[in-house]
């Protein structure tokens, strides 16, 4: 876990269908499942299949204020690099305060990879 992080999550997305396709932009859309309604800073790290994080943070962002809001985290460059050699992309998400994002059980609001 990165220094100062108090909450972590692991995310993995299948990218097989993206091989050979032009990618203009890629984002991960996250909805806050709960928040203290105060700023919660997040850091996103690329990982390997064994969840070992790289030391390079690929994105930082503030969490949404409440469950009805979302944030799109730009992962365009990381995704373009990963699909050259792998069929999935994995991330470690660290936060500076306790926060969770809507789980996979909430079908419409789970963390989603969106590619343009």
pLDDT at 37 over 90: no
Q: What does the pLDDT read at residue 44?
A: 95
Q: What does the pLDDT read at residue 53?
A: 78
Q: What does the pLDDT read at residue 67?
A: 67
**pTM (2 decimals)?**
0.83
- Cβ neighbourhood burial of 83 (10 Å; 0-12, 13-18, 19+): buried
Looking up tokens 């009805």, which residue turns up? 68
pLDDT at 1 over 50: no
Q: Note the pLDDT tens digit of each residue in 55-77.
A: 889 999 988 776 667 889 999 99
Would you say 77 and 64 are in contact if contact means Cβ atoms under 8 Å apart?
no
- Return the half-sphere exposure (C-beta side, CA atoms, 13 A cut-off) of residue 108: 2
Write a three-state SS string for 57-105: EEEEEECCCCCCCEEEEECHHHHHHHCCCCCEEEEEEEECCCCEECCCC
- Report the CATH fold assignment for 7-115: Jelly Rolls (2.60.120)
Mean of the per-residue pLDDT values for the chain?
83
Q: What does the pLDDT read at residue 50?
A: 87
CB proximity list for 64: less than 8 A, separation 6 or greater:
30, 31, 32, 35, 70, 71
């Amino acid at each position: 876990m990165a220094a100062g992080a108090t909450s972590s999550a692991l995310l993995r997305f299948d990218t097989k269908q993206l091989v050979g396709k032009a990618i203009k932009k890629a984002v991960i859309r996250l909805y806050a499942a709960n928040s203290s309604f105060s700023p919660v800073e997040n850091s996103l790290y690329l990982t390997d299949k064994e969840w070992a994080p790289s030391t390079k943070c690929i994105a930082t962002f503030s969490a949404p204020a409440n469950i009805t809001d979302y944030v799109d985290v730009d992962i365009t460059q990381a995704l373009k690099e990963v699909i050259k050699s792998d069929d999935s992309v994995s991330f470690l998400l660290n936060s500076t305060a306790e926060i969770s994002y809507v789980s996979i059980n909430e079908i419409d609001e789970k963390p989603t990879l969106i590619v343009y």
